[in-house]
A and B are shown apart, each in its own frame.
Chain A
Amino acid sequence: MSVAQTISRVQSWRPKFGPIWLAAPALAFVAVFLLWPMARLIGLSIQDADTAAFTLDHYQKLVDTPVYSRILGITFRISVLTAFFSVLLGYPLASWLASLPSHKRNKWLFLVLLPFWTSYLVKTFAWMIMLGDKGLINSILTGTGMAEDSLSLMYNELGVLIGMVHAMMPLAILTMVPVMANVDNRLSLAAGSMGARRSQRFWLIEFPLTMPGVAAGGLLTFITSLGFFIVPAYLGGRGQTMLAQIIIMQVQQLVNWAFAAVLSVMLVAAALVAIWFYDRLFGLSTLTSASSTSGKKHGQWLRFLAQKVLSLLAWLSSPFDRLGQSTSERRPFKFAYVLIIFVFLLAPAMIVLPLAFTSDRTLAFPPPGYSLRWFEFYFNSPIWISATIRSFGVAFATAIVATCLGGLAALALARSDSRYGKAIFALMLAPMIVPRIVIAVGLFYLMAQIGLVASNIGLIIGHTLLAVPFTFITIGAVLKGYDWRLNDAAATLGAGRITVLRLITLPLLRGGIISAALFAFVTSFDELTIALFISGGLKSTLPKQMWDDMYLQLNPTLAAVSVVVLVIVTLLLIAAQKVQKK
């Protein structure tokens, strides 16, 4: 076959519509299972429950009843504080991780990923054991005489913040590390050569350059925090009720859909306001790109203000320049800090581990003796085993569906410079941005109508919705580095489109695709909020079963199950890392 023939054949294979259509399945999916339910929720919130007439009564109730504005305020306050402390405390660790060579960084990042993928239930449960009045920390403090009386670490705002910052800090770190790693550390050296001291180098050069990462971390932790209900329910006191708890109560106990919809709209509005601010300041596209230099240009006054503030900070922190300056290679303070944060991140898992092997019937720590009885109980319990099997099945299906949908959408964006690109991008990330609890309520409403409540398919749809942004981003990232000329090269050598896909594109993208699938798997395997609504009590997943157990009977089975989950998640994460390395 001549070259000319080959080329004409290649051209004749061009589809009649552009590659942008590859995004169609994912977009349709998001539209049907996210946008439509959202629209329905908004509809519900402005309709009379019985006559379906337009009414603002429900919003009127929100305004008239002081309790809801108060809870909205509390939710906002806790979310802001959580985002603030997650970023603040996570920043030094992230910067330390970013300074490591990449093979070492990945190993340490694993220790951040592990608590990130540990279920909120397990983490909360472990904090309950640690923070109590007679808990581990107080026993140590009073036992060593460091505190005379037990400190109130739990059942108050402090407890909620500890639990939430612990849950959110990995997210903040994981968002900040790529941005920080991309900052050219030679810039700081250059500034030093121009006479900048340590404090000036940090505040005038390093910090502004990592700002997009800081902001993205803050935004994601804030939005995720808005939808929390486990932590405030178990670690909070009477003043820490968050909106998600009230939404669950409205739906499950009071069956007041209209009002649940109003509260959901409030949550989404809060998230959108945060995103609007972020977009104005940094540009949305910085959310997923690791670059610190792209993004928005700002008005003069804003830059001026920022520079003044940073100069002030540099001046304020200049007295500390001497700390660790003499030993530039070893920084004992930083090292100690990194160690403390890692202990904080891993403490819950460390607590759960020995409890799973306790011989006692209680959750006393440390365990009075060790046995395998709770694992035995778990493996002999048909309820737990069926929940485990269902979780595996649902997660497996989710991984496949989400990888296909997200992968095709990423392919569409990579191969097309359509003007709809930005909109598609935003839509694909929407499931990450809308608080989970709202997605769950909206889906529940939809699925109840189409008969998918208490079905595996309903669970798979819900989990796929949550996992799609992850797969989309992961595969999109690998596609960025993919050399499309290879496809043309293969085509001129006589390979058809399918052959190119099978022999060239897929093998080269394999690592990204597999790790996307693994992340989707873990997302589903660990998911509670959707399961809480969709499982309908009949199709319990493992996290749902754990939630029920936490409500019905707190015993070491929960610790044993947690360890099983932890082991599975760990193995998957190791697999993901192995695959990414190749």
Chain B
Amino acid sequence: MTDTNAKIRIDGLSKNYGDFTALQPTHLDIPRGELLTLLGPSGSGKTTLLQMVSGLTPATSGRLWIDGADWTGRALHERGMGLVFQHYALFPHMTVAENVAFPLKMRKLPDVDVKRRVAETLEKVQLDAFAHRFPRELSGGQQQRVALARCFVFRPEIILMDEPLGALDKALRETMQLEIRRLHREFETTLIYVTHDQEEALVLSDRICVMNHARVEQVGTPHQIYSDPETLFAATFIGHSNILKGRIDGVANNGLTRIATGSGNFVGRMGARDTEAGEHALIVRPEQLRLGSANGEGMNEVTARLRDIVYIGSDNRLILSLPDGTEFNARQDPANVSGLNVGDEIKVHWPIEAGRIVS
């Protein structure tokens, strides 16, 4: 932990409520200008972590460093961070313009500047026509844009967002995700974003911090986490995974690890921080599976029964049953599927480097 470039350094922050642990001691460095997503199911501790950074919740232990200074005990209103909540937290008794002007007024900016910056920001989120409406007169997407404008208007160096798009429908959510990316780039802020939606995390993030059971499972770029999940949880929470449970059965000659499962022995890459003891699982992404027998080295192969073919738009999904009953999914171009019937015995294979062994 010597990276002095970190804008935010989370240095062992933890939170207990009596006997209940909301967050185990957590270490995390967030460089200036990064968009980091805290991703995890509810109860994973991601919101707790965010609230400790924002100052809404005092930490049980640990310190928070911003630009190398200790901010652990700073009062909420002195932190100058921008917060966006899932419920928007728009002041219902103020107009859109008044809401957006609020943080500027708190900073005692001259009225002229306030007016100018409010107008500018509202224009950026395409709400200039709604400046004198009240929040309740706006749609959900518009309300969220007000919340974003109110946050970005005072150019905070750090912005924290807690599931800000959770209440919106899918189409609107996707538009807003792009909007947030654009604003983030434009204002060059450091942004921590909490979500339980893996797709959203993949779209938005520079890095993703996967959390579960009050602790961090894995931190990395979306690509790293997708292709190299370090834990079973990280593997299953992001993207579809086929899971084969088994035991480690020594190291293969090419340096990869052998695993014995109920449907046969396979080879895969060992996860970064895994030991060989105990239960393990082989993870294979559905798009890695190919139909037919393996021709050549470096492939795992298995025979399976085709249970169903599901049309999902661009691809077809094949639902397969392995010998030990494990369900496998394979994504295939519709062209490859013609001629297959439900109930057929078929062979599938995948490159051994594509398989990942985690505990």
Within 8 Å CB of B154, what residues of A?
194-195
> For the complex, is B92 an interface residue (Cβ under 8 Å from A)?
yes
* Per-residue B-contact encoding for A193-219, CB less than 8 Å = 1, 0 else: 111110011001100110100000000
Within 8 Å CB of B130, what residues of A?
none
Within 8 Å CB of B77, what residues of A?
192-197, 201
> For the complex, is A485 an interface residue (Cβ under 8 Å from B)?
no
User: Which listed segment binds B: A22-30, A183-191, A469-477, A516-524?
Assistant: A183-191
* From B81, B89, B103, B106, contact of A186 by CB (8 A): B89
B114: min CB distance to chain A, Å: 13
Residues B102 and A191 in contact, CB atoms below 8 Å apart: yes
Q: Provided the pairs A194-B102, A293-B136 are in contact, do residues A189 and B56 lie with their beta carbons within 8 angstroms?
A: yes
Interface size class of B (residues with CB under 8 A): 20 to 34
Residues B92 and A189 in contact, CB atoms below 8 Å apart: no
Residues A195 and B85 in contact, CB atoms below 8 Å apart: no
Residues A195 and B83 in contact, CB atoms below 8 Å apart: no
Within 8 Å CB of A292, what residues of B?
92-93
Residues A193 and B76 in contact, CB atoms below 8 Å apart: yes
Residues B89 and A190 in contact, CB atoms below 8 Å apart: yes
> For the complex, is B124 an interface residue (Cβ under 8 Å from A)?
no
Among all A-B residue pairs, the 7 with the closest Cβ atoms: A195-B106, A194-B103, A190-B89, A192-B76, A293-B92, A193-B83, A208-B93
Within 8 Å CB of B85, what residues of A?
186, 190
The DSSP consensus for interface residues of chain A is: helix
Residues B93 and A209 in contact, CB atoms below 8 Å apart: yes
Chain B 144-159 residues near chain A, CB threshold 8 A? 150, 154
What's the Cα separation between A261 and B75 when bound, in Å?
Answer: 61
> For the complex, is B80 an interface residue (Cβ under 8 Å from A)?
yes
Residues B56 and A209 in contact, CB atoms below 8 Å apart: no
> For the complex, is A325 an interface residue (Cβ under 8 Å from B)?
yes
> For the complex, is B349 an interface residue (Cβ under 8 Å from A)?
no
B142: min CB distance to chain A, Å: 16
B109: min CB distance to chain A, Å: 11
Within 8 Å CB of B55, what residues of A?
193
> For the complex, is B240 an interface residue (Cβ under 8 Å from A)?
no
Chain B 310-351 residues near chain A, CB threshold 8 A? none
> For the complex, is B182 an interface residue (Cβ under 8 Å from A)?
no
> For the complex, is A297 an interface residue (Cβ under 8 Å from B)?
yes
Within 8 Å CB of B56, what residues of A?
189, 193
Within 8 Å CB of B150, what residues of A?
194
List the B residue with the shortest CB-CB distance to A291.
B92
Residues B81 and A193 in contact, CB atoms below 8 Å apart: yes
Residues A187 and B106 in contact, CB atoms below 8 Å apart: no
B240: min CB distance to chain A, Å: 36
What's the Cα separation between A293 and B150 when bound, in Å?
Answer: 20
Residues B106 and A194 in contact, CB atoms below 8 Å apart: yes
> For the complex, is B82 an interface residue (Cβ under 8 Å from A)?
yes
B155: min CB distance to chain A, Å: 12
Residues A193 and B79 in contact, CB atoms below 8 Å apart: yes
What's the Cα separation between A297 and B92 when bound, in Å?
Answer: 12
A234: min CB distance to chain B, Å: 43
Q: Provided the pairs A186-B85, A187-B89, A205-B91 are in contact, do residues A325 and B80 lie with their beta carbons within 8 angstroms?
A: no
> For the complex, is B134 an interface residue (Cβ under 8 Å from A)?
yes
Q: Provided the pairs A186-B87, A189-B56 are in contact, do residues A195 and B92 lie with their beta carbons within 8 angstroms?
A: no
What's the Cα separation between A189 and B87 when bound, in Å?
Answer: 13
Can you spell out 7 A-B residue pairs with CB atoms less than 8 angstroms apart? A193-B56, A193-B76, A194-B102, A195-B107, A200-B106, A209-B92, A292-B93
> For the complex, is B143 an interface residue (Cβ under 8 Å from A)?
no
List the A residue with the shortest CB-CB distance to B95.
A303
Within 8 Å CB of B81, what residues of A?
193
Residues B54 and A193 in contact, CB atoms below 8 Å apart: yes
B167: min CB distance to chain A, Å: 14
